[in-house]
Chain A
Amino acid sequence: MSFYQLIVNAKWESWASTLVYLPEIVLCLTIVILLLLRLPRWGSRISSLGIALVGSVIAFVLSIPFETTAEANPEAATTAQPVSLLQEETSPNPPDIEASSEETKAYKQPGDTIFSGLIVYDGLTIFFRQLLILFVVALLILMGLTGIPDRDSGADVFTLILGATVGFSLMVSSNHLLIAFLGVEMASVPSYVLAGTLKGRRIASEAALKFALYGAGAAGVMLYGMSLMAGALGSAHLPTMAENLAQLTANGVDDRQLVLFLGGLMILVGLAFKLSAFPFHFWCPDVFEGATAEVDAFLSVASKAAAIGLLLRFAIGISGVPGEPIEAPAAVAQATSTEEAKNTFDILAISQTEATSLTFAAQADQEKTKLEEKPVTDPDSSVVPIQDLIVFLIGLMAALTTTFGNLAAYGQTNIKRLMAYSTIAHAGYLMMPVAAAVALLSKDQAGAQEAVASVVVYLIAYFFMNLGVFAIIALLRNRIRSEEIEDYAGIVRESPGLVVCFGILMFSLIGLPPLAGFLGKFWIFAALWEAGLITLLFIGGLNTFFSIFYYLRVLKVMVLSPEPDHRSPAAIPIISWPGLYVAALTVPVAILLVFWEPIRVYSLWAAADLFQ
């Protein structure tokens, strides 16, 4: 291949990839605009919150995948154009274009990798991206309501939030160790600064310091593990690594066991730190207490979601290699899943009044989305021991994390510390289906898909629950200047609407039946049951029981205890912007069960590409 063709290939690849990478690019542009607006004198009159909001809303709109047929998309023609222009000059076509006779291959579709294999663009990526960007939109609105970054520091804080979001999106879509590391760094380093947003406060600076030091250490260990893994497997590209690993184990060459084990363990340490899983959770309560409630929401939802995404990519990417390539069924599934994309998004886009009628259509399509009931990996394949090891490690960590988080939450008097331990516990619940998915790889492809889909559902529920709780904490902090649980005493008499919302969110966090938390948890437990991880299921159930009491204790203080005398008035009526914001987050939690079917279809679609 000539040098010139290489350039043409690279150009084509980056151009086609850029089109589906637009949301992140818009976020980056917003950062630059926020920076440049400080230069001119009139720039300070423009609200930085507004710019950040507009940027993230545009990014969210762009993250909805556009039409996937060449005729329907005018942009596809422009995409293909540079390639065809160059083709006239060079007689031999670049191999990729030559391979695909149809024009439809000229741009990226869900399921492809973009940027020459560095990033996966599939259902899971699309889901995480939408979740994260939507979260940023919601968070920015919350910040506008509570006014925590003041005028001076607004632009800085929003820049950090948007920058971290780009990092999160890299993490969840990474197909290469370099991207994973880059994503982790891009996500965590701005988070360290965010933890110290209120830079004049002693505890805020202490929180930032602890976060930064532990985080830097964890990142170092993770990089060392990555170097060992990449070196032992001869590549840093995840699919290639998985192939090489399968080959190594199949050949019975076991001299690299120790290297691989240590490398994998060190990567797991880094991920566990991001997830605040049990032995590496110690930063979490301190940072949550020191940082503001808004930043806590960011750390507990976005950061955890991205870390779970990366864990999924690693765990399934490294061990989900088929024993032999499945030719025909995979192609069929690919076709249906891309078709499904449109349907699902139609459902989500169209207003919810029509949802009931559309549910039938979705139900009809559901059979197509479901993958066939066959194992991804051959049951006697050489990767099965590796899968078992991964299941054991993640399962053990999940069990310990959940139990520890729930037990340690009991003694807390500060609501943010309590929520920190609650976050730890939920990270444990989120890790359970990952273990289940890996365990099901060698048994049942559809089951593994269900397990991953349960992560998706749980994250959707978790998004509303945790953001709602932290929003209430932030709003109450602005009124009563306290975050101690005892200061919440009898607050129901001043703002009953808010406490009702808080109650609903708390019940949902426990996982009581009609609420969103129940939906997610039920599905996770179903996946565990199917995977045969009965012990883990039992621990999860037991922990749900544990968690009832400390959540309800907060509610009890709010409702039953008498009001203290010295407290400043805390009334937040539900018919006000803050009240409506909280209500808007609570309503989906309450009624998510109604939309069981669309969510189920959507989550299954998001999970389907992972097993192609």
Chain B
Amino acid sequence: MFTQPIGVAHYLVVGAILFVCGIVCMTTKRNTIGILMGVELVLSAAILNFVAFSQPAFRVDQEASLGIDGHVFALFAIVLAAAEAAVALAIALNYYNNHSTIDVDRAQDLQG
């Protein structure tokens, strides 16, 4: 385990675990902010993938790595995730002002 060099696949496994945790968090949590945390985990998993794909030393076929493209993608993903979280939080606060709760299960005025 410690004597093998690290490859992209190792990072992908970590990313996959983060992704699954995020999805589970999004589906099981009842609190709005809990759901947002799940989203953060999923986005973080994606960013991890991008970083791993852009490192040529993690693979045999170095030409196929993303290089700077991956880094830039990761940077933009971080920025966009932050913006999304800010808006989601503002919406949650607005919801709280009207309903005095941020429990998603109580959101039952609209039934689809």
Contacts and interface: CB of A to CB of B under 8 A. Distances in A.
Partners in one complex: yes
A199 B97 CA distance: 9
A114 B111 CA distance: 45
B50 A189 contact: no
Interface string A276-304: 00000011111001100000000000000
A177 B95 contact: no
Counting chain B CB atoms within 10 Å of each CB, which of A209, A235, A284 scores highest?
A: A209
Counting chain A CB atoms within 10 Å of each CB, which of B47, B70, B77 scores highest?
A: B77
A189 B22 CA distance: 20
Nearest to A219: B84
Contacts of B46: 220, 223-224, 226-227
A419 to B, nearest CB: 14
- Chain B contact-residue range equals 35 or more
Interface residues of A, number: 45
Nearest to B43: A220
Interface in B21-80: 22-23, 26, 32, 35-36, 38-39, 42-43, 45-47, 49-50, 52-53, 63-66, 69-70, 72-73, 76-77, 80
B57 to A, nearest CB: 15
A242 to B, nearest CB: 15
A220 B112 contact: no
- The secondary structure that dominates the B interface is helix
A202 B99 contact: yes
Nearest to A207: B110
A178 B91 contact: no
A65 interface: no
B95 A230 contact: no
A217 B98 CA distance: 24
A200 B97 CA distance: 8
Contact of A192 (B49, B88, B97): B88
Nearest to B40: A220
Contacts of B49: 224, 227-228, 231
A358 interface: no
Contacts of B43: 219-220, 223
Nearest to A259: B12
A60 B92 CA distance: 36
A212 B107 CA distance: 13
Interface string B99-112: 10000100101111
B54 to A, nearest CB: 9
Given A217-B42, A227-B53, A206 B110 contact: yes
Nearest to B44: A220
Contact of B88 (A181, A205, A212, A230): A212
Contact of A282 (B23, B39, B42, B112): B112
Given A181-B77, A224-B49, A236-B69, A289 B22 contact: no
Given A210-B110, A234-B66, 12 more contacts: A177-B73, A178-B73, A181-B80, A202-B98, A205-B94, A212-B92, A213-B36, A213-B104, A216-B84, A216-B88, A220-B22, A231-B66
Interface of B: 8, 15, 19, 22-23, 26, 32, 35-36, 38-39, 42-43, 45-47, 49-50, 52-53, 63-66, 69-70, 72-73, 76-77, 80, 83-85, 87-88, 90-92, 94-95, 97-99, 104, 107, 109-112
24 contacts: A178-B69, A181-B80, A189-B83, A205-B91, A205-B95, A205-B98, A206-B107, A207-B110, A208-B91, A209-B104, A212-B87, A213-B35, A216-B39, A216-B88, A217-B39, A220-B42, A226-B46, A227-B47, A230-B69, A230-B73, A231-B50, A234-B66, A284-B112, A290-B109
